[in-house]
Amino acid sequence: MNVPTTDLNALKTRQQAAWSSGDYAVVGTTLQIVGEQLAEACDLLCDEAVLDVAAGNGNATLAAARRGCKVTSTDYVAALLDRGAERARAERLDVKFQVADVEALPFGDATFDAVLSTFGVMFAPDHAKSASEMLRVVRPGGRIGMANWTPEGFIGQLFKTLGRHVPPPAGVQPPSLWGSEAHLRTLFGDAAEVRATPRLFNFRYRSAAHFIEVFRTWYGPVLKAFASLPPEKASELERDLAELMNKLNRAGPHSLVVPSEYLEIVVTRRR
């Protein structure tokens, strides 16, 4: 039996277009607490060289810079780095911003004391190459800190719901695998020690309808999913997403608070 394959370069081009649509920063800024907690989990030290990969609008970037680190913030979507730069300037933080792809990082071996990513690297299509590149650029004894949505948590279920309406490319590993400790140990192997801690982030919106409105307007993958469907199918997707959120909502009928599980990961490169 032949297993379908996908052109990863073509997929990446489509992903870039998706993340460039809308404005991820509208959603991203609500996740800032995750970057702060990850910086503490990695025990970042003043003057350490830190790389943020797939940085988006810079949650981990700002968290590291606030702790006195020398931060390089990277993403393959320049517009998102512009958002991060605006935030850094507002706080008078000295951060270097550079367009770069986590699967082909333009830095030398063992350049950084720590590499960070909050809900970013997990969306790169080639998992093994991304893990290899992060390991390559971090020094022996250095840390790779990540926050990745789990397959079983709310965002993992949201992407499964999207996938029922807009099937993902064949032969590509789902992003939520990065939220599986077993997958992480496979990716990093004997080259690193992996410590994974389950955590929750609470999405807070007025209602399921409010959440869907924000995400279909500003969050690229959801925006693109709705845009690809005819009106009747888009209505079905909206119904299924609302049903999922209302099932998980712990705030009662007058607001929306949906806990979403993620893994907080600290990978230490072996010497």
DSSP code at position 103: T
204's enclosing H/E stretch is strand 192-205
Determine the pLDDT at residue 1.
41
Q: What is the pLDDT of residues 124-149, one digit of tens each?
A: 999 999 999 999 999 999 999 999 99
How far apart, in whole angstroms, are the C-alpha atoms of residue 263 and residue 221?
21
Domain ranges of the chain: 8-202+261-269
The one-letter code for the residue type at 128 is A
Both tokens of 21, joined, read: 């649509």
Both tokens of 73, joined, read: 């913030």
Burial class (CB in 10 A: 0-12, 13-18, 19+), 58: buried
Extract the runs of DSSP E, i.e. beta strands, from 32-171.
49-52, 70-75, 95-99, 112-118, 138-149
Q: What is the pLDDT of residues 45-73, one digit of tens each?
A: 999 999 999 999 999 999 999 999 999 99
The one-letter code for the residue type at 22 is G
How far apart, in whole angstroms, are the C-alpha atoms of residue 142 and residue 192?
10
Q: What is the pLDDT of residues 26-44, one digit of tens each?
A: 999 999 999 999 999 999 9
Residue 155: pLDDT over 60: yes
CATH class of 8-202+261-269: alpha beta
Residue 91: pLDDT over 70: yes
Residue 150: pLDDT over 80: yes
What pTM does this model have?
0.93
